[in-house]
Chains A and B, each alone.
Chain A
Amino acid sequence: MSLARLLRREASLAWGRGGGPLVALGFYAGAATLLPLAIGPEAGRLAAVAPGAAWVTLALASLLCLDRLFERDFEDGALDLLLLSPAPLELVCAVKCLGQWLATAAPLAVAAPVAAVALGAESRLAPLILVSALIGGLAFVFLGGIGAALSLGARRGGLLTAVIVLPLYVPPVIFGGGAIAAFASGLPWLPGFALLAAYAASAVALGPLAMAAACRNALS
């Protein structure tokens, strides 16, 4: 099936040269290291903000690889050819996002609990942070794809993408950060987590429609 082929290609392109996930992980590690330098080394204070900091840094790190999602295919003509097939463009966009998620968001999700615990979060939070980061990563990629497709052809598209996408990142940051904070203090965490999952599900469902429309607009 050619969509499975496309998924393999997208994942290997995102993973491949230019260091894709390694650069994002490096950024993530760097940003997480800056934090204690700014807040101060007091263990109690750091531990209190650690999960939230890991979560926000994750949102920022997942912005990094977005400009590669459509830009290269747009410039080298691959996007034209992806249109000339029986597979609808919406599905092509969804597969591209999924490849991006596998190659960069999943490694970042594994790094998130490590960063949180390193900053002093209790280790019992790690599983919830991992699962939230995996689910939130889906929302980050599928919403980010909309921004990447909308800024196709613009100069300094990467910056434009970030400006378009950051407001859309607000709900998952609130829901995910809220669920982890609630779990940490022994409060009911499930509602926040469920809202995060629902937001990710609607991003996966609606994002490809917006991305395909934006790609068609950029090509025509």
Chain B
Amino acid sequence: MISALTLGGVAVRRGGRLLFEGMNLSLGRGEAAALVGRNGAGKTSLLRAVAGLVGLEAGEIAFGEADPAQARAEGLHFLSHQDALKSARLAGEELEFWAGWFGGSAAALAAAVDRLELGRLLDLEVRRLSAGQRRRLTLARLLAAPRPLWLLDEPMSPLDADWRAAFGAIMAEHLAGGGLIVAAVHDPLPIPALKVEIAA
């Protein structure tokens, strides 16, 4: 599966404006990168480009030996600030659907629910959840369907101090298991990470 992530001379244009160019990055198994930059610098666009949702103006993105299309279809999780949760559906239904969509098993789902303490929330409608609870529900996808590359867009922002620490531990375990993480952040990540500055 995905053993590395390499960006060579990547440039992304959005709405006629060149966000950044000449972006280079090389990550191996067990490594994390923290994307920092001002609002609107293009952190989210870079994550979307890695996920294949946005085309590149120049440069290339490689996933080690893996075929890019297959790597994107089976090897990465993309967690954006849009959490893809339907407010009228039950939290449990939504989690179960997405875990299954990404190819997760029932056992992994149960473990994720335990780890993120979602048990009591599953039979609530998504609209009843707080921002932090919604975020934990989306984080559960990462554990319920194991995939090597995590693309995280400000994963910490709605979490309280305890859950920030807990998610730090989850990320550290993912890296220890040979995973890769690219996270767009404003505050420093609680794990050792390569700092990548995005500026126009």
Partner of A76, one of B54, B72, B82: B82
CB pair B73–A17 under 8 Å, yes or no, is no
Q: Which residues of B contact A44 (CB under 8 A)?
A: none
Give chain A's interface residue range (CB within 8 Å of chain B). 20 to 34
Interface size on B, residues (CB 8 A): 28
**What is the bound-complex CA distance between A46 and B124, given in angstroms?**
50
Contacts A2-B101, A2-B103, A13-B89: A81 and B84 contacting too (C-beta < 8 A)? yes
Contacts of A76 in B (CB 8 A): 82-86
**Contact residues, B92-109 vs A (CB, 8 A):** 93, 97-98, 100-103
A80 close to B80 (CB less than 8 A): yes
The stretch from A27-35, A83-91, A154-162 touching chain B is A83-91
Q: Which of A18, A75, A78, A86 contacts B73 (CB 8 A)?
A: A86
**With an 8 A cutoff between CB atoms, is B78 at the interface?**
yes
Query: Do B74 and A86 touch (CB < 8 A)?
Result: yes
A5 in the interface, Cβ–Cβ < 8 Å?
yes
Contact with A219, one of B53, B77, B83, B86 (Cβ below 8 angstroms): B53
Answer whether residue B4 sits at the interface, using C-beta atoms and an 8 A cutoff.
no
A80 touches B76 (CB 8 A): no
Assess the A83–B52 pair: CB atoms within 8 A. yes
When the two chains form their complex, are residues A84 and B82 in contact, meaning their CB atoms are under 8 A apart? Answer: no
- Say whether A118 faces chain B, with CB atoms less than 8 Å apart: no
0/1 per residue, A42-85, Cβ < 8 Å to B? 00000000000000000000000000000011011110111111
Which residues of chain B from 122 to 169 have a CB within 8 Å of any chain A CB?
A: none
* Residues on A with beta carbons closer than 8 Å to the beta carbon of B10: none
Give A contacts to B, CB under 8 Å.
2, 5-6, 9, 12-13, 16-18, 72-73, 75-78, 80-86, 219-220
Pick 17 A–B contacts, CB within 8 A, sort by A: A2-B101, A2-B103, A5-B97, A13-B86, A75-B82, A76-B82, A76-B84, A78-B86, A81-B84, A84-B51, A84-B52, A85-B102, A85-B103, A86-B70, A86-B74, A220-B54, A220-B55
